[in-house]
Amino acid sequence: MGLKEIFKRFFNRVTFQKPVTHHMSFQGDYFSSASDMNEAIFSAVSRLGNTFASLPLKLFDDNFQQPSDCAGFNLLRDGPRYFTRFDFFRDIETIRNLKGNAFVQLFRNVNGQIVDMALVKPGCCEPVLDITSGELYYAVSSVDNAPNQQTMYVHYSEMLHFKHARFGQVMGMNPIDLLKNTIDYDHEVRKISMNQLNGTNEGLIVRFDGSLDEDQKEAHIKAIAGFYRDNGGLLVEESGITITRVERQVVDPKLIDIDKVTRSRVAMVYNVPEHFLGDNTSSFSSLEQLNLEFVTNNLMPTLKQYEEELNKKILTPDQKRRGYKFTFIVNSLLRGDTETRQKYYQTAVRNSWMRPNEVRLEEGQPPDPDENANKLWISGDLYPIETPVSERKGGESKNEKKSGEK
């Protein structure tokens, strides 16, 4: 690279000319306003996005070493463009859960190495099939700059596509569409609840003697209502009129049951445990069991999709032959409480499939400089089944004792 090109790249980081910009909020693609976002949906989507983005992403080869020559992995590890790794993956998973599909376009240099990645707004991307070659392409439209609107066709190998369940089509189903009736019903219930809150929690029973006709009764009722409203609930009984106050509940308790139904339906669509959405009636006895349900029923299928998509489209043929593969580490979600972790590590060290320093690193502790902390250990009371008794600890003395007794 020449000196001129170096200066050009450096000084292009600062410009005194206003760049062509557009509003980068995605909110309008999903809901017309923030008030339209159901709390249960927000809780599910944010929990899924945050949990997924918190998982470590590793690249291993056939020897379980972590190679550093994969440009795509290095970009994901640091985060493309102005994203951190956490923000990038959280945005992808959040968009997938709100629209059913999330797209990431890959950009390569002349050597085929990935040098950049970019999120594509779901409304700007549509899969199309080339009937002559049978190849899948994605039609990407630049809808933000209407005068210069163009459509480019990106081969499927250059577009990461993460989706929800699909049925005989390329695009995944939109969870929000499945929850439309639930969202609409929840909005109507909220209106009823707000009307009750804005009203009074007190009713009145007015009794008249038999000497008043209907017109006189109606006039008295209007007068009582006006007096009640203008005097902060104060009432004065007149001759021939008896007023009885009746207390009412501000909010119908059945509305709480309806809120539980809404949470249950959202949890069912997003395949998350209801306790993730505020349900405190869980029957699980430990944190590990709670997380195990989530990892088994939701996270593992999602991670499998991400891993296979990354392996297929980011790794080169040579890297695939060498056994490179992306892996999300979920151990942190299954660590459980202190007692459970202690038993887990004790079993691992005693059975020689974890080293003491590996335990320390997993618990966020610095490694011990003692060389023995990097060795595999095995319990002294365990032997291969074919080991003779005389070679086992204490075996020889036992045999000698039996011989002396004879």
Confidence of residue 14 (pLDDT cuts 50, 70, 90): very low
How many domains are there within the chain? Answer: 2
Long-range contacts of 74-79 (CB under 8 A, 24+ apart): 75/114, 75/115, 75/116, 75/117, 76/117, 76/310
Secondary structure letter of residue 28 according to DSSP: G
Give per-residue pLDDT as tens, 144-183: 545 556 788 899 999 999 999 888 888 999 999 888 888 8
CATH of the domain at 240: 3.30.1120
Domain of residue 388: give its range.
Answer: 337-394
| Residue 377, domain member (yes or no) | yes
Instruction: Give me 127's structure tokens.
Output: 């899969």
Report yes or no on whether pTM surpasses 0.85. Answer: no
Residue 48, pLDDT above cutoff 90: yes
Give per-residue pLDDT as tens, 88-137: 999 999 999 999 999 999 999 888 889 999 999 888 888 998 888 888 99
| Residue 111, domain member (yes or no) | no
pLDDT, mean over the chain? 77
pLDDT of residue 311: 95
Give per-residue pLDDT as tens, 369-406: 888 888 888 777 666 656 677 776 665 554 454 455 54
CA distance 135 to 106: 17
| Residue 209, domain member (yes or no) | yes
Least confident segment among 29-43, 86-100, 323-337, 370-384: 29-43
Given its phi and psi angles, is residue 134 left (phi above 0), alpha (psi -120 to 50 degrees) or beta?
left
| Residue 221, domain member (yes or no) | yes
Burial grade of 301 (CB within 10 A; 0-12, 13-18, 19 or more): exposed
CA distance 317 to 315: 7
Confidence of residue 337 (pLDDT cuts 50, 70, 90): low
Residue 12, pLDDT above cutoff 60: no
Give per-residue pLDDT as tens, 252-295: 556 666 777 888 888 888 988 887 777 666 555 555 677 777 88
Long-range contacts of 75-79 (CB under 8 A, 24+ apart): 75/114, 75/115, 75/116, 75/117, 76/117, 76/310
pLDDT of residue 302: 93
| Residue 218, domain member (yes or no) | yes
| Residue 286, domain member (yes or no) | no
| Average pLDDT value for residue range 55-84 | 89
Give per-residue pLDDT as tens, 123-133: 888 899 888 88
- Nearest one of 211, 270, 242 to 38, comparing CA atoms: 270
CA distance 308 to 301: 11
Residue 11, pLDDT above cutoff 50: no
| Residue 226, domain member (yes or no) | yes
User: Among 193, 222, 247, which residue terminates a domain?
Assistant: 247
User: Among 219, 247, 275, which residue terminates a domain?
Assistant: 247
User: Among 217, 247, 277, which residue terminates a domain?
Assistant: 247
